Amino acid sequence: MEEGDDEAKQGATLGECIKLLSSASREKKFVGMLLVTRLLPTTTDDDALAAIADATGFAAFITSMLRAAPVAPGAPPATSGDGAGEEAQGGRGTISGSAGASTAFSESTPDASENAEARAAQASASHALALAACAALCRCRAVALDPSMLERLPLFAAAMGRKGRYAALPSSAVADACEAALQVVAAGGEEAARVAAEVGVPAAAAAAAVTAAGTVAEATAENDGTDADGGDIVALLPAAQLLGVLLDSPAASDAINGGGGGATADRAPPPSHNKAARAVAKAIPAMARILASRPGQPVQIEALRCLVLALSTLPARRPNGDLAAEFGRLARRAAKGHHSKAACEGANESTCPSKISDGG
């Protein structure tokens, strides 16, 4: 009897969420989003997840939340993507109508004198809420395959790298961005992987993994690598999983390897280097640290996968590609640093540059 009551209660809550999300009022939509975040963690029913994603105006609204940015005091709020134009978008589907929306809070906070820090905090909260919803909804394959999610990959990539408006994003939201992108790529196959590579997801995933691995390296026994908002460590597993999926994808790995441009392990690539290749190369030491420091944990397996793919599979496919060249660049830099250190240690205080500098 209790189980039936729970199901009925959840059904009523789901219906309430969909009703709020389908409202023409942005305030009601926002309340619906808050209820969704409470409902989604306990929801595994694909039909329920799809029903939420199909709510009228949901696609445009959630994208406007992802695009939220602090508004300068006295500046009028942007209106693109609001009102009737947004509602006409329906549920899942194209999200182009929401581009340029400034913030999901513009109607609920009309006071133009509100300070910039409060506005930034509101925008960051909007981003985190939208990313959490995307990550949860993408557990449904039908939602992950929807074109609107594929179109959000550039926003997920920016969130992973804490770029621009996402600079203050909490680590849990970075993890959600990685998880959402992972589900979209896994569901969409090679086409989704190709799009992800084009919009910079491999470099963003590598950067998120490096940041999270740095947190692990600095962790102490007292806090186990976590901080007030959960620590960057929470993004480590989804970032490593996403990076591994992209490295294993022919479409994405081709973009990471690049054409080589005549670069070899003995010759540095041209100035317009491959950003994805450089980011992946920089992530390798971080993956090695995780492999050594997280025995028996799922992230250790993901780190090993990334190392195998990056150090053997990809260079074997294209030995003169950009990734191999970036490894050569890192090796030369490391060797140069080692030689400089050795020379300095063998020099006396009057000839060692670092000692001269230290001595004033």
61 vs 220 pLDDT, higher one: 61
- Token pair recorded at residue 168: 């203050």
Instruction: Quickly state the pLDDT bin for 338 (edges 50, 70, 90).
Output: low
How much is the pLDDT for 258? 78
Instruction: Quickly state the pLDDT bin for 93 (edges 50, 70, 90).
Output: low
Tens-digit pLDDT profile for residues 236-285: 999 999 999 999 999 998 888 875 444 444 444 443 478 899 999 999 99
Range name among 35-44, 98-107, 122-131 with the lowest pLDDT average: 98-107
- Token pair recorded at residue 272: 């317009």
Instruction: Quickly state the pLDDT bin for 346 (edges 50, 70, 90).
Output: low
If you average pLDDT over residues 89-112, what whole number do you get?
Answer: 46
* CB proximity list for 178: less than 8 A, separation 6 or greater: 156, 160, 205, 208, 235, 238, 239, 241, 242
What is the percentage of the chain residues whose pLDDT exceeds 90?
Answer: 36
- Residue 171 exposure: Cα atoms within 13 Å on the Cβ side: 21
- Mapping DSSP onto H, E and C, the string for the chain reads CHHHHHHHHHHHHHHHHHHHHCCCCHHHHHHHHHHHHHHHHHCCCHHHHHHHHCCCCHHHHHHHHHCCCCCCCCCCCCCCCCHHHHHCCCCCCCCHHHCCCCCCCCCCCCCCCCCHHHHHHHHHHHHHHHHHHHHHHCCCHHHHCCHHHHHCHHHHHHHHCCCHHHCCCCHHHHHHHHHHHHHHHHHHHHHHHHHHHHCCHHHHHHHHHHHHHHHHHHCCCCCCCCCCCCCHHHHHHHHHHHHHHHHHCHHHHHHHHCCCCCCECCECCCCCCCHHHHHHHHHHHHHHHHHHHCCCCHHHHHHHHHHHHHHHHHHHHCCCCHHHHHHHHHHHHHHHHHHHHHHHHHCCCCCCHHHHHHCC
How much is the pLDDT for 221? 38
Instruction: Quickly state the pLDDT bin for 49 (edges 50, 70, 90).
Output: confident
Can you say how many angstroms the Cα of residue 342 is from the centroid of all Cα atoms in its chain? 40
If you average pLDDT over residues 219-231, what whole number do you get?
Answer: 45
pLDDT at 182 over 90: yes
pLDDT at 122 over 80: yes
Q: Are 332 and 286 in contact (CB under 8 A)?
A: no
Tens-digit pLDDT profile for residues 9-35: 555 578 888 888 888 888 888 888 888
Tens-digit pLDDT profile for residues 312-336: 877 777 777 788 888 888 878 777 7
Averaged pLDDT score across all residues of the chain? 76
How much is the pLDDT for 82? 36
Q: How far apart are CA 204 and CA 163, in angstroms?
A: 10
Residue 264: beta bridge partners? 267
218 to each of 55, 106, 212, 221, 351, how far by Cα in Å? 44, 39, 10, 10, 34
Assessment of whether the complete model's pTM goes beyond 0.85: no
Tens-digit pLDDT profile for residues 151-178: 999 999 999 999 999 998 999 999 999 9
How much is the pLDDT for 318? 74
Q: How far apart are CA 70 and CA 26, in angstroms?
A: 18
